[in-house]
Structure 1
Amino acid sequence: MNEASILLVDDEPAILQMIETVLRKEGFASVARAHTAAEALSACENAAYDLIVLDVMLPDGSGVEICPFLRRMTDAPILFLSARASDFDKLTGFAVGGDDYVTKPFNPLEVVARIRALLRRSRKTEAVRPAAGASATVHDFGRFQVREEAGELWVEGRQVGCPSLVFQLLLFLCKHPNRFFSKSELYERVWGESSFGDDNTVMVHIHRIRERIEADPSQPEYLVNVRGMGYKLVRREDGYER
């Protein structure tokens, strides 16, 4: 039995019933429903969920519009469902805080597989909580620090919220400073599977990191890229110059 708590948000009862039925058959016992954007926000205010499946088109708003508000309440992975299949729509979903994007019509077993993958990745961050008496590992880059066991990002002395996959990517780069990684390498090392053309996912998460650690995300000084090579996280004291 899977103990993860999942919130399904969709205004189509048939879709909710289909996904919930498959989830329960696959061992997920805690599944809640919301039919509107308002219900989704209320649900997250009153309960904690391990993952949210969020429809883009809702009767009282857009899943894309409410996603930033959900992000203020939870770091749980968010899986978008949408009939919109363009790259722009997918990138928009990632940019506002989504972690995955599935287009309609879909195979419910694929949705469950993606849910399992998101939960597995999310738990990687949860697993690095400090043990009693354990020494804390801090990756110090001057302007910001990553506290590994605590799963915390601090920027200029202030703790900054960081969704699980964003934190995992940042932590991986902190452990390998000044080393270039291609987008496909980062996907395989952090997401734990072959990229299969998911380069956009890495790009969006790179942008999310820059929004948090850079003074000017459009002119990054720490998380830099070189065309044709990839990305690397630079220690400023190591003498890197843009």
Structure 2
Amino acid sequence: MLDQKTCVYVLSDSLGETAELVVKAAASQYNSGHAEINRIPYVTDKETVKETIEDAEKDQAMVAFTFVIPELREYTVNLCKEKNIPFVDIMGPVMEQMARITNKKPRFEPGILRKLDTDYFKRIEAIEFAVKYDDGKDPRGLIRADVVLVGVSRTSKTPLSMYLAHKQIKAANVPLVPEVKPPKELFEIDPKKIIGLTISPHQLNEIRKERLLALGLRDHASYASMERILAELDYAEGIMRRLNCPVLDVTNKAVEETTGKMLSILREGI
């Protein structure tokens, strides 16, 4: 059984969290479930490996490591064998089998998983942000947004916000309606991070008619009337002039195309 004297040195060319978790999982299978773990992260040279193995030899410890750099793996294995130190190469055998299966060479780049995880969580955070601050739900979010989209109803504000979120950009959007005063926060943020959306009256008329039919309503309701649409677009144009923000016409534009133009605007504004 493991006891209080059990010692493991963990080496990694990244953080070493994987090796440490494996060692802890193995230790939990013994009565005491305890192992003294000394983690040495970001190892990039043989000298650090040599010093660590010398310490492991003195402490009669085991060595576990996750190296993706072949030279460090080979050096560690040979040195442990030379000094008769028990060791576990956690990453090596898995990488070798994957290389055989895929018939491809690995990138030999430490820390890729952490980078992928970071990108993933940033994307999830941006998606949650877009949902929370969609359709002007909470104007307090405008200050925290990377970009704020404004425009009349059915100008693709929500789809564009979600598409930007998948690119790790926090987007909020605010509908411009003549009967509703825009939030004061909209006029307090940098106009460089506000993008106005406009559309041709005729296309908006068709989109709104289809929307009403989808909801089981008559397509000649005020919401889809040309008079109402022209009034809304005129009002929105006035607000955008006050904001002094760039304006994009989304008429007959795919979400991907409009997003590309938005990204160019945001890069220019940085």
For this structure pair, what is the TM-score category when the shorter chain's length is used for normalisation?
A: 0.3 to 0.5
Larger Rg: 2
Give the structure with the higher percent strand: 1
Q: Which structure's residues are more often helix, by fraction?
A: 2
TM-score for the superposition, normalised by structure 2 = 0.30
